[in-house]
Every structure is written in C-alpha cells, then in structure tokens.
Structure 1
Amino acid sequence: MNNLPEDILVNILLFLPLKSLLRFKSVSKKWRSIISDPHFANFHFQSSSSLSHRLLHIVDSQVGSVDLDSSFFDRSAVFELHLPNNVPPHEIWGSCRGFVLLHDFHSSNFIMLNPFTGSYRRFPNSPKPSELCPFICGFGYDAYTDDYLVVQAANLTYDTDEFDVEFFSMKANSWTKIADRTNFPYSNGYDQTIVGTFLNGAIHWLVGRRYASVQLLIRFNLRERNFMEMPLPDGFESGFHFSCLVTLGGCLSICKINDSDKTANIWSMKEYGVKSSWTKSFVLSLAYIPNRYFIPKGLTQSGEIVGSDEATRVSSVSSQAEQEK
C-alpha cells in the first residue's frame, strides 16, 4: 500500500478505527507522518460515523485510556498510552474533540496534545506573572471560527480584588484580555484551579459569588467571548459539601457529596439551558470509596459511573449507582 498515491491512502486510513491507527503508525515513516498530522486527526474526527467516548487518566506518570462505550470490566476497553519523550507528565486541564489540554504548574506552560497520535502543540505563556495560578481555566472549540481556545481567570495579587481574565486563541497564537480587572464578580472556594467543562460551544464552571456564600453556574460562550450565568437545580444548596461540574451522557451534570450519608447525588440538565430540565439522575453510595472527594468522569454504555478519587488519582467505578425514577 506504500505505492498508493497519498490522497488515496489518506482516504483509506480515515475509515479505520482509532485503535487500528495506533498500530499502523509503526508500518512506515510515511504512515506515521500521515496519522500524526493534526489535519488528519481533525478529518478523522469529523468523518467518524460513530465516535467513541474515552476517558484519559494519568496515575504516577502512567497514561491510560478507557473506552466508555464498553463495559469498564472489559479488559479490551482499557489500554496504555505513551506521551512523547519531550512532553513531561502534566495535569489534565481540559479536553475537547479528542484533544487534551495539559498544564505544567512549574512553568505555567500549556500543551495541546492528541494523546493517541502523540502530536502536540506548545502554547506561549500568558502575559500574567507565572506565579499567579488561575482560579478557573477551561479549554474548548469554537466551531464558528474553527479555533481552539483556552480561557482563564487569576487574582493579580493576593491582597486585592483585581483579576486578569483572558483567553488564548490557537489560530492567532496569542493571549487577549477580556474583562476589566475590577469587573469579575466570581470566586473560587477551593485551593486549586477549577477546570471547566466544555459542552455546546461553551466552557462551564461551578463557582462562588465574591463576598457572598452563593454557588453559581457560569459559562463562557466561545463564539460571543463573554460570560453568562446559568440556572442551578431548584433546591440545590452546596453549603460545605463538596460539589463539582461534569458531563455525563452528553448532559451537563452536577455532583454533590453528602458527608452525612456518604453518598454522591448527581443532577443532570436534560435540555441544555432549561432550568426545569434539571433531574436528579443518580445517587451513588461512597461507602467503599476511601476518599469522599469522588468525582464522576463518565457514564459507560452499560450505565456504570466511572470516576476518580482526588487523593489517590486512581480511576474507579461505582457499582452502587441507583438511578432515580
């Protein structure tokens, strides 16, 4: 097949599943070059008739991938990935259309990585001081401009209310400020960056309102380049319970940990942007989870909840899910 014209070879490779492409990278330098090309990855994503949903996890510098369309107990659903040698282990700060945003706390570098082909792009550093860690950050795709964006907000100093809110455009290869330093009314009640959830052309965060013990759901519209607040479920009050924002089954979902009965309660927005569509979908027993900060990461085709324990960073499955009627 190496004698085939390249355009015909590309068209053949576009019909192959991702797992086969990973094996075929070793056929020849030509095949590796084609499969590793970012443009090929984009065409393959758009032409796939049935896209798989995979969970990427990093544990002790080991990178693995779980096929959420298979049973989590099916060993073929899990396989190990290898990062390029010059890409050190980073934290995952977002994912979108098969790409992953990696962040290095030491250098404040961002890397956009295709974990299956190994191709990547390193973004220039933000103009903000590197020692200032953003309290929210997100990664998403603007279909209108065919552009990938990173959005983040950080305190300029620790003793004032000044904020830097900015986004990075991959097409422009530059950072742009999008908010006045004194006109960002949101805060982070945790000691680490809140990573946004990308869905429906927007990045979403669960945050607090400054100077008020009120939890809010906000989104950043990637086309309009602005923030908006979204409705939370009726009766949802986080209080001192740990809560997080995820996507499950293609729906924006909120998970709240209840310490008193060791459960995780999950609400899902069945119709995007419609408050009345919030539904309490699952109640998970955390009796066998060693750390109460269980974060759902995905919903398998067979209905299993895949999640992670922030303390051990080990992926796990709760088989105690009870779907609400």
Structure 2
Amino acid sequence: MAEEKTVCAVMEYSNNLPPEIIEIVLLKLPVKSLLRFKTVCTSWNTIISDPVFTRIHLENSNNSPNNNDNLFITEKGDTERGFSLFKLEGGKLHADRVSENPSGNMVILCECNGVLLLRDSSGGVNNTSNYVLWNPSTRRVRCFNDPYGSTVNYGLCYDPITDDFKVVVMKRSSYSIFSCNSDSWTEVEESRSYDSVGWSGVFADGALYWLFCFEMARFDPETDELEALRKPEQLGDYDEFSLGRLRGRLCLYCNNTGDDERGIRIWIKEKNSNDWEAFVAIENVPTDPVRSIKFLHFVGNKILIGLFCTSFGLYYSPSEKTVEKIIADCGMDLCRLVPYRNSLCFPAVKTKTITRYYVGVMSFCSVMLSFLESVNCTQEN
C-alpha cells in the first residue's frame, strides 16, 4: 500500500516532474505493481517497457534486501493446478500461492534473469522436443521446438550486447544454440565428447556453466564458444563436486576431503577470471555426500541448502557458523523446488517489430509518392 501511495503522489505531480525522477520511483517498485502502472499513461508504459529499464530493475532487485529471495517454485507443474509457489518464513517453507501452468505437462529445466526454460515432460514427437520460455512474474510465454533431439543437457543464458536470450542444448559431440532474436537454431560440432551427470547449466557472471562428470565447461553467449574451465587447485582429479549460483556468482561446492564426509566446502569464481576464491567451509552438515544437495541459495544473510528427496533443508549462517533445519509444509520434497526471481525480463520479438515497422514505413512512402506524383501532374497541367 505504501508504494501505491507513493505512486499516486508521483502521478499527482507528474506533469511537473522530469522523466528521470519518475523513472527512479518506478525502479523501486515490484514487478506486480509495474505491470499495473503500465496502464496509467503512455509515458509510464514507455519507461517500464524500455529494455534498459528492465535490466536496471533486475540489478536493483538482485541487490535489494526485499527482493523476494525467499520464494521458490515447484520444479514440475501440475496439469490442472499449475506450479505452486513456496515461501520461507519463520524456519518453515509453506505454500504461498499457485502460478498458472503456461502449457501442458511441463518441467522446469533452468533459469536466467527470472526467465524459466521448461520442457514438455511427456516427450517430443518424431524425435523433437517441445520447449517453453516462461516468466511467471509477467506471465509471458514463448514456445519453440528442438529439431535435433538426443539431448545430454540444457542451459539458458543472456547476451547483453545483442539483448538476446539463448537456449543451449548440449549433445555428446556437439551443441545447438537457439537465438530468440533470430528465432532459429545453429548447430556447432565439438572435437570432444561430453557426458552429463544430469545437471542443467548454471547462468552466472554473464556466462553459462556445466558440470560433465569431473570436468567443467563454460559457454560465452557473446561469442557462442564453449571452453573448458579449471577446478580449484585444492581439488583432485576425481573429487566429486557440483556447481551452483550465490548472488549472481558461480560457486562450486564439494565434501571435505579426508575423514570428515559431513562437511561442505564452497568456492566462488572470481569475476573476469578463471580463478577460484575459498568462500566458506561448513562443518558437521547432517546430510549424505554432496550429490544429495540440490541447490544453494542466499536468503537474507544465510545460505539455504536444498536437499534431494527430503522434506527439510539446511539454513547456514556464514557469520555465526550455525546450521539450522528448515521444514517444508505438506512433506514437500525440496528436490522439486527452484529459486524464484521476480523480473520483467523476457525475449523481445524483434523480427515481428521490424516487420511491422518496415510495413509502416513502406505504406507511408507509398502515400507520399502518390501525393508527390499528383502535385507534379497538377503543376504540369
């Protein structure tokens, strides 16, 4: 209610306020409010629809203490009820609300900037796969098919240079890239073979990362190139580890090497570098080896550790070095939850926009030519 009163006050004096001030106020609002305020007036709709505004709003939201980082969405949607949202409050995960199912019997594969990549869990037809890009905050949906099949793994990333969302589908000896801007696939042959361990790609630090057995790979969305990524020096050739994301940074976590198999070590990849920085060591974790961990996610100043096939998670405080247990209502399996992010982001349909613009310009030129011809004929007569 407070934010709506603020906006009403801005509306009252909006004629006397510069657009820059109005934009600053709008950037502080959640997605739900912004979608309503797009209908206030044309100028507000223009501001909120600007891709630059969308990117700044996402950055502000990621850095805000009130960014809804305690929301999670079920990995698999129910055909009738849709996807359920869960909220972490008071040491418990409880059902918050239901978000409608965008299309059929879908399962969430991965996330990028609040946009989710979904796949039809019923399987494709004629060796193709049906995919959906979905932003549950704005309810925008885009469907497409993968004509290649034989998938090993998936990933979703964003290229800020071309403002393009890209879906990358890994095969054993090649990978395919779907560009939302061009609405087309490109297949790239690889000289090496990849074996998946069943984890989707992680988008962090502006790139897409995969784990293949005991190796890592990095995909650059600006160049569409795939390269190997080295592990922290402390890890041996056959030490098991997993990848995740903490506050936008790529992290790697594994069991303590040695006698204590109940501890977890976490590294953070340094920005603009392939080096790793030791982040934290969690001792006496009441869980099986690291493969049982589904995700790591900051909620406030604590790290939520989601576990496979259990109705509870772990809540770790880096400052206090304490571990708490988080209980999920209704026996919800935490391996079915995915961190939920409020965002305005979604692939722009540039091809159609350009076509409409081109048709409009051609129509205008046609009218002007007809007018000039009629004026010329009048002068000659």
Hey, what does 1:184 align to over in structure 2? 192
Hey, what does 1:212 align to over in structure 2? none
User: Offset of 1:97 from its aligned partner?
Assistant: 1.9
Hey, what does 2:185 align to over in structure 1? 175
Hey, what does 1:138 align to over in structure 2? 155
* Cα contact 2:205–2:250 (8 A) shared by 1: no
Q: CA RMSD in A?
A: 4.1
Q: Quick check: which has more Rg, 1 or 2?
A: 2
For 2:120 and 2:183, the matched residues in 1 are separated by: 19
> C-alpha deviations, 1:59-87, integer Å up to 9, x for none?
66443265xxxxx5459998735433443
For 2:215 and 2:245, the matched residues in 1 are separated by: 17
CA shift in 2, pair 1:77/1:315, >3 Å = closer
Identity between Structure 1 and Structure 2 (%): 20
Mapped pair 1:46 → 2:55? yes
> C-alpha deviations, 1:81-101, integer Å up to 9, x for none?
543344345332222222121
For 1:137 and 1:15, the matched residues in 2 are separated by: 32
Within the candidate set 245, 248, 253, 2:246 is matched to: 248
User: Offset of 1:110 from its aligned partner?
Assistant: 1.7
* Cα contact 1:285–1:320 (8 A) shared by 2: no
Mapped pair 1:93 → 2:109? yes
CA shift in 2, pair 1:234/1:15, >3 Å = closer
User: Offset of 1:23 from its aligned partner?
Assistant: 5.9
1:125 counterpart SS class: strand
Query: Which residues of structure 1 form unaligned runs of 5+?
Result: 67-71, 156-162, 209-214
Please tell me the residue identity of whatever aligns with 1:152. Answer: V
Q: How does 1:1-325 map to 2 (within 5 A)?
A: 14-18=26-30, 21-22=31-32, 30=39, 40=49, 42=51, 44-48=53-57, 50-52=60-62, 54=69, 56-58=72-74, 61=77, 62-64=83-85, 72-73=88-89, 80-88=96-104, 90-105=106-121, 106-107=123-124, 108-122=129-143, 124-129=144-149, 132=150, 134-155=151-172, 163-180=173-190, 183-188=191-196, 190=197, 192=198, 194-208=199-213, 215-237=214-236, 239=238, 241=240, 243-257=241-255, 261-275=261-275, 277-283=276-282, 285-287=284-286, 293-302=292-301, 304-312=302-310, 316-319=313-316
Query: Which residues of structure 2 form unaligned runs of 5+?
Result: 1-7, 78-82, 322-381
2:189 counterpart SS class: coil
For 1:234 and 1:263, the matched residues in 2 are separated by: 18
User: Offset of 1:319 from its aligned partner?
Assistant: 3.2
Please tell me the residue identity of whatever aligns with 1:83. Answer: S
> C-alpha deviations, 1:154-198, integer Å up to 9, x for none?
24xxxxxxx341110001111110125xx233322x3x3x21111
For 2:279 and 2:101, the matched residues in 1 are separated by: 44
> C-alpha deviations, 1:193-251, integer Å up to 9, x for none?
x211112331111213xxxxxx222101111111111221012137374x210111333
CA shift in 2, pair 1:165/1:271, >3 Å = closer
For 2:24 and 2:244, the matched residues in 1 are separated by: 36
1:22 counterpart SS class: helix
Q: TM-score, normalised by structure 1?
A: 0.70
Structure with greater helix percent = 2
For 2:61 and 2:37, the matched residues in 1 are separated by: 26
1:316 counterpart SS class: strand
Hey, what does 1:211 align to over in structure 2? none
For 1:41 and 1:284, the matched residues in 2 are separated by: 46
Hey, what does 1:160 align to over in structure 2? none
* Cα contact 1:306–1:315 (8 A) shared by 2: no
* Cα contact 1:238–1:256 (8 A) shared by 2: no
Please tell me the residue identity of whatever aligns with 2:145. Answer: N
1:45 counterpart SS class: helix
User: Offset of 1:17 from its aligned partner?
Assistant: 2.0
